[in-house]
A = this chain, B = another copy of it.
Amino acid sequence: MDKTAFFQKFVAFTTAVHQVKHEMTKDLKPADITPVQYSILEYIAVQQPVTLSEISDCQHMSMPNTSREIRKLTEKGLCEKSTDAQDQRKQSIRLTPEGKAMMDEAFARIEARFFHRLQGASEGDLKTIEQALDVLQAKVFHTE
């Protein structure tokens, strides 16, 4: 096993993933949302409800900046805060119906692009791809 070649394959792979993800998500965020805000919305959409601290950790941004961006998203009517019943320090953040509608549409368009990219793949190919995704997620891209 050539370790250097293996590593280079890994680097090329992550670069390709980044590239493809960019292609699949470009031109779909509304004009009045900044890239950071869109990224936060994606995170909330998948993980909601979330707290400010969780966003701060996962998006690698400071609490003050996270607080600012959430305030802006709240002002735009895309997400809302509610105080956690158990711990009143915590803010439980969710998408508003408008925010959810926006993200649903964004994900629908990404999904369409995804399957467009897979057109031509047989049922067997899809099985192979699914297994490959499972393998890599379990053995390489695991995050705890």
Q: Are A14 and B16 in contact (CB under 8 A)?
A: no
For A114, list chain B residues within 8 Å (CB): 7, 10
Known: A7-B111, A20-B143. A132 touches B125 (CB 8 A): no
A61 adjacent to chain B (CB < 8 Å)? no
Cα distance, A14 to B46, chains bound together (Å): 13
How many chain A residues touch B (CB < 8 A): the figure is 49
Proximity string of chain A (8-29) to chain B, C-beta cutoff 8 Å, 1 when within and 0 when not: 0111111111111111000000
* A residues apposed to B, CB below 8 Å: 1, 3, 6-7, 9-23, 46, 58, 60, 107, 110-111, 114-115, 117-118, 121, 123, 125-137, 139-143
Identify which of B11, B21, B136 contacts A136 (C-beta below 8 A).
B136
For A134, list chain B residues within 8 Å (CB): 9
Cα distance, A9 to B118, chains bound together (Å): 14
